[in-house]
Structure 1
Amino acid sequence: MKTIQTHRAMALALAALLAGCAGAPPRPPGVVDINLATLNDFHGNLEPSRLTYTDAAGKTRTVTAGGIDTIAAALQAWRKEDRELLLVGAGDLIGASPAISAMWADETTLGAMNRLGLRATSVGNHEFGSGRLELLRQQKGGCVSPRPEKACKFEPVWPGANFQYLAANVIDMVTNKPFLPAYKIEQAHGVKIAFIGAVVKDTPSAVLASGVAGLQFTDEAQAINRVLPELRAQGVHAYVVLIHQGGRTASALDRPDCPDLRGDVVDIVKKLDPAIRVVVSGHSHKGYLCRVDGRLVTQAEMGGHVMSRIKLSVDRASGKVVGESARNVVLEQGKHPADPAMDAYLRTVRERSGQVLARPVARVAVAAMELSEDKADEFALGDVVADSQLYAARGYGAQIAFVNRGGIRLALSTGADKVATLGQLQAVLPFGNDLEVLNLTGAQIYALLEEQFMGGRAGSRGVLQVSEGFGYQWDEKRPEGARVVPGSVLLHGVPLEPDSSYRVVTNHFLAEGGDSYPTFTRGASRAPTAIRDIDALAAYLARRDQDGKPAGAAVAAGRIQRIK
């Protein structure tokens, strides 16, 4: 009887085993899985923050996610599953960063990426934010920087990035060769994989023109395809594109194989060589796992809240990718055992940064000055920043200040005491742009204002914020190129004269035509001030506080009137 029961138990166990395997097709012989983890648009977010998202089940969730400690803990756990997992990125890992990174020339973030074991990343437009020479310094190491007040202040000497920045479509016009390597070949489980990098080709419109002088940004797909023969000659037949360009979808960030991706990245993917099966994207700050013409296209949100885990199935004999899948993982705090080394590093960064950033600057009028929800509107914080730049440039004869909305990254929230700290101000203006003064005629100012509304850009990049004493009306029902109401552009209540010259102050980014404002480049009698926007804001707030008239308001001043 015991023997019969034993045989019956064995039969049931075998049946259960076979049933468990029924859903999984037999693994082809000679196929190996390569595991990737990807980041994009980290933007120096060393600390965790709040993330609200809708999951594939349609449930809206709000969690505390990200931070280098959380990322390190997750990678530590995943590497226990596969010690040869490769961490790669899709650009904008630095730039537009919180003060804890920005105040150290982003060297704290680059140091964290070294510690995380990042292998390669495409360069992003923000990596060019301080110019090509600074990017090369961050890559190779050293302290000769256009930002001497920040560079090599966290460590005595910046040793350089252990990972490789990639940019197949950025050409040095002197050498006619890629400014950065086009690709990096890695090896895992005995298989070679080439990571090919590219950056959005309109990067020059988003950064200082002088910072990318001598560089040509070419078509992304053509540049990527161009390197494949070279890779094949080296015996590499598995390719992953890391591109700082993205799209949008209505699908949840963790929905597999979403079919509705749209945006610039879609056209690029459709033009890629058929051998490229996986594209890791960035730039649009959206999480998605989509298919475009059968190819896998991923993005992992932004700020380190999410990482994409990608599995490549590669045939050992041919070296080609024969299957690919991915999932987006929200990096909630506490899900994995801590990485003590990274916890210690973050603690050091916080302590050293906190000593500087906690310094009080001035009392302001309201506890919170938010950014407008509609980017085509004026907002109170924009008024204050514009006023601070006009105040800073008064010695240069400035009459009007213009500020791009994209340069104001976060709201100013001080708490009940209404005292703004240096750290809070640096979070508002993280770029440290110098101010420049120039002359524009009244006709040129009208043209500048119309440039805000070309191609519907006001809704995406925002209208320019303007200083006290200047204002105008615009009518969204009027045709493009004629939306500014004639006669409505006033300076201290007086209409601008088309042929009269006016002294304007703006940041150096806009002065060089950034954000697609070419009229700024036509300004005459240009005068660089060497005054940083963050210093102008701090000085203005302190002066107003000292005068007993703290700056700020809960609502915009009504300088820009929108007729709907």
Structure 2
Amino acid sequence: MIKTPLCLLVVACLAAGCAPLAPTPPAPIEINLVALNDFHGHLEASKFVYTSARDGKENTIMAGGIDNLAAALQAFRLEDKDLVLVGAGDLVGGTPAMSSMWADEPSIVALSMLGMKFSSVGNHEFDLGRAELLRKQHGGCQGEPGGKACKLAPDFRGAAFTYLGANVIDKVTGKPLLPAFSIEQVKGVKVAFIGAVLKNTPSVVLASSIEGLAFTDEADAINAALVQARAQGASVFVALIHEGGNTTEPFDQADCTELKGPVVGIAERLDPAIRLVISGHSHSGFQCKAGGRTITQAQMGGHVLSRIKLSIDPASGSVRDVVVRNVAVRPGEYPADPKVAGYLAAVKAQSSAALARPVARVAQRSTARRMNDAGESALGNLVADAVVDATRAEGVQVGFMNMGGLRSDFDVSENLVATFGQAQAVLPFSNTLVVMDMTGAQLRAVLEQQWLRASGRAMLQVSRSLYYQWDNARPDGQRVVPGSVRINGAPLDDARTYKVVANNFLAEGGDGYPAFRQAANKADTRILDLEALIGYLARNQPGAAGAALAAPALPSARIERVN
């Protein structure tokens, strides 16, 4: 057999017009992330109501829980051992009793056991002040204001993950209180995770908890941190931001397009090198394309995990593509992680006696937070009545409750006996009740501020003593129908002084209600809102002498929408 020299074959091919073979481009590097947000100390699985892109139907399941999160992550890491778990804030704060009764230490320990690497700080991380946030980060037993520190275990070591906050500035030093970013090398690629929290944090946190701190523009802070991270060799940049948005699309709708809210405007101003924004705060589930990049959020409470795949160009180190899949975390779907399941069992065992303490018999199994079209909810009515009842001796006439302070529906077991743990899940912040004097004009201003808040409409829940109408066709600041406001059946008198009660957060003007700051003669009763609710339930048990129905199935007409 005669062999033709290779050089002759090449010459012959060129003469015949053959195209040269193009070099095969190198395969992209795949980096896998998993994200969660607004965990809020939900150590156990809880109720998740959602609409699925698969069938468009509303479903209710139990989801989340650290044991099930650990099982899922264990399975995901079998697919990619280099997977990185990150968060977008509010990992603690507003937590169920099993976490809050131990100063949220079990939540920090559990998230560390899950292998979390980084999380943006959230507004709720500041609930108990900067010192307590730093204790949760670094460990120790000193300074926790509730006296709960190191009671679960004597050697709390703090988080094994790093809180990030590029836009949280210490006014004295002029520097970030927390690291602005951190770089993780994954499969040879330097990935910078940059954290930020909503700049409006002062409107949703007690002023005393953030004294000495400034919260700057989110996009400006993230972009400045990106420059520093790039100088340290990072080529991929991921924003972890505790600010969100909402869409009517299902939580698992691929590449959703209807996202609206503050995070979209922030994303539009970010450096183009940031292709992925992992968000939080709005407790929504979405995986959208907006602002020229992918924006995700994994609902709340550990119900959902965002599985994210980054395709990286190996030559430039830049992101070619981002693919996100939001998945519900169902109990029993994956083989258990014995270590985390054992930790949950141990915390439950230590907590069980306090959580199971019965506090009252109630009228039905569930009292919901969901508001009607006017802005009332059965649970809001219940709590607003409870805080008035607890302070009636001080002459209180009107009570208010903010919806953001109601953290879950009030669900009890089949025997209709409510436990401490079930009540505490509704009101976990340990807010105290403040009695104050407000004029009728100030009360009217409070009602109008429901539509003037920077973050949009959020209806206050009111006691049965207050009635008013509002008209959606009227402009913001003039929504309350003139002459409609009644206090105990009598027309509101702008010049008269009324005795009002609200939690200390609202009393400081929190949640976008500055009119409360103008109140006179403020007196903190030191009564916890939770104590007020439990006492009201006990005094109003079905069958008790003179008892009102403690948990109405539907809102009564306290607020009426006329348009």
TM-score normalized with structure 1 length? 0.88
AA aligned opposite 1:473: Q
- Whether the 8 Å contact between 1:97 and 1:430 is mirrored in structure 2 is yes
**What is the aligned partner in structure 1 of residue 377 from structure 2?**
379
Tell me whether 1:48 sits opposite 2:37 in the alignment: no
2:81 to 63, 80, 83: 83
Larger displacement relative to structure 2 (67-76 or 93-102): 93-102
User: RMSD between aligned alpha carbons?
Assistant: 2.6
AA aligned opposite 2:516: F
SS in 2 for 1:452: helix
AA aligned opposite 1:503: K
**What is the aligned partner in structure 2 of residue 461 from structure 1?**
458
- Whether the 8 Å contact between 2:194 and 2:226 is mirrored in structure 1 is no
AA aligned opposite 1:34: I
C-alpha offsets along residues 13-64 of structure 1, whole Å, 9 cap, x if unaligned?
xxxxxxxxxxxx9984385322211111222222223434444444545544
**What is the aligned partner in structure 2 of residue 20 from structure 1?**
none
Q: What is the distance in 2 between the residues matched to 1:457 and 1:262? A: 12
AA aligned opposite 1:404: N
1:289 to 287, 291, 308: 287
The 5-angstrom pairing of residues 415-564 of structure 1 reads: 415-454=413-452, 460-462=457-459, 464-545=460-541, 549=547, 551-564=550-563
Larger displacement relative to structure 2 (341-350 or 127-136): 127-136
Instruction: Name the CA shift for 1:208/1:83 in 2 (closer, same or farther; >3 Å).
Output: same
Q: What is the distance in 2 between the residues matched to 1:77 and 1:555? A: 43
Q: What is the distance in 1 between the residues matched to 2:483 and 2:476? A: 17
Larger displacement relative to structure 2 (84-93 or 388-397): 388-397
How many residue pairs match? The answer is 538
SS in 2 for 1:461: coil
- Whether the 8 Å contact between 2:373 and 2:561 is mirrored in structure 1 is no
1:279 to 277, 284, 287: 277
2:358 to 357, 360, 369: 360
The 5-angstrom pairing of residues 102-501 of structure 1 reads: 102-316=100-314, 318-374=316-372, 376-454=374-452, 460-462=457-459, 464-501=460-497
The 5-angstrom pairing of residues 23-38 of structure 1 reads: 28-29=25-26, 31-38=28-35
- Whether the 8 Å contact between 2:42 and 2:65 is mirrored in structure 1 is yes
Q: What is the distance in 1 between the residues matched to 2:331 and 2:438? A: 51
SS in 1 for 2:274: coil
Larger displacement relative to structure 2 (321-330 or 544-553): 544-553
AA aligned opposite 1:114: S
Instruction: Name the CA shift for 1:54/1:494 in 2 (closer, same or farther; >3 Å).
Output: closer
Q: What is the distance in 2 between the residues matched to 1:436 and 1:199? A: 28
Q: How many angstroms does 1:537 deviate by?
A: 1.5
AA aligned opposite 1:555: L
SS in 1 for 2:501: strand
Instruction: Name the CA shift for 1:124/1:475 in 2 (closer, same or farther; >3 Å).
Output: same
Instruction: Name the CA shift for 1:376/1:455 in 2 (closer, same or farther; >3 Å).
Output: farther
C-alpha offsets along residues 461-516 of structure 1, whole Å, 9 cap, x if unaligned?
22x22234333333334443233333433333333332222221110110111121
Q: How many angstroms does 1:102 deviate by?
A: 2.7
Name structure 1 gaps, 5 residues minimum.
Answer: 1-24
Identity %: 54
Instruction: Name the CA shift for 1:427/1:375 in 2 (closer, same or farther; >3 Å).
Output: farther
C-alpha offsets along residues 152-201 of structure 1, whole Å, 9 cap, x if unaligned?
33223432111111111111111111121111111222322110001111
- Whether the 8 Å contact between 1:375 and 1:461 is mirrored in structure 2 is no
AA aligned opposite 1:428: V
Instruction: Name the CA shift for 1:27/1:408 in 2 (closer, same or farther; >3 Å).
Output: farther
Q: What is the distance in 1 between the residues matched to 2:468 and 2:302? A: 40
Q: What is the distance in 1 between the residues matched to 2:381 and 2:62? A: 32
AA aligned opposite 1:330: A
SS in 2 for 1:296: strand
Q: How many angstroms does 1:72 deviate by?
A: 0.7
Q: What is the distance in 1 between the residues matched to 2:337 and 2:96? A: 23
Q: What is the distance in 1 between the residues matched to 2:390 and 2:451? A: 28
SS in 2 for 1:307: strand
Q: How many angstroms does 1:92 deviate by?
A: 1.7
Larger displacement relative to structure 2 (554-563 or 261-270): 554-563
**What is the aligned partner in structure 2 of residue 12 from structure 1?**
none
SS in 2 for 1:351: helix
Instruction: Name the CA shift for 1:243/1:311 in 2 (closer, same or farther; >3 Å).
Output: same
Q: What is the distance in 2 between the residues matched to 1:261 and 1:402? A: 31
AA aligned opposite 2:532: A
AA aligned opposite 1:480: D
Q: How many angstroms does 1:415 deviate by?
A: 4.3
Larger displacement relative to structure 2 (92-101 or 205-214): 92-101
Q: What is the distance in 2 between the residues matched to 1:57 and 1:416? A: 32
Instruction: Name the CA shift for 1:388/1:285 in 2 (closer, same or farther; >3 Å).
Output: closer
SS in 2 for 1:290: strand
- Whether the 8 Å contact between 1:105 and 1:147 is mirrored in structure 2 is no
Instruction: Name the CA shift for 1:476/1:503 in 2 (closer, same or farther; >3 Å).
Output: same
- Whether the 8 Å contact between 2:245 and 2:259 is mirrored in structure 1 is yes
C-alpha offsets along residues 268-302 of structure 1, whole Å, 9 cap, x if unaligned?
11111122122112222233322235422222222
- Whether the 8 Å contact between 2:374 and 2:559 is mirrored in structure 1 is no
Q: What is the distance in 2 between the residues matched to 1:294 and 1:480? A: 32
Instruction: Name the CA shift for 1:439/1:549 in 2 (closer, same or farther; >3 Å).
Output: same
The 5-angstrom pairing of residues 57-76 of structure 1 reads: 57-58=54-55, 60=57, 62-76=60-74
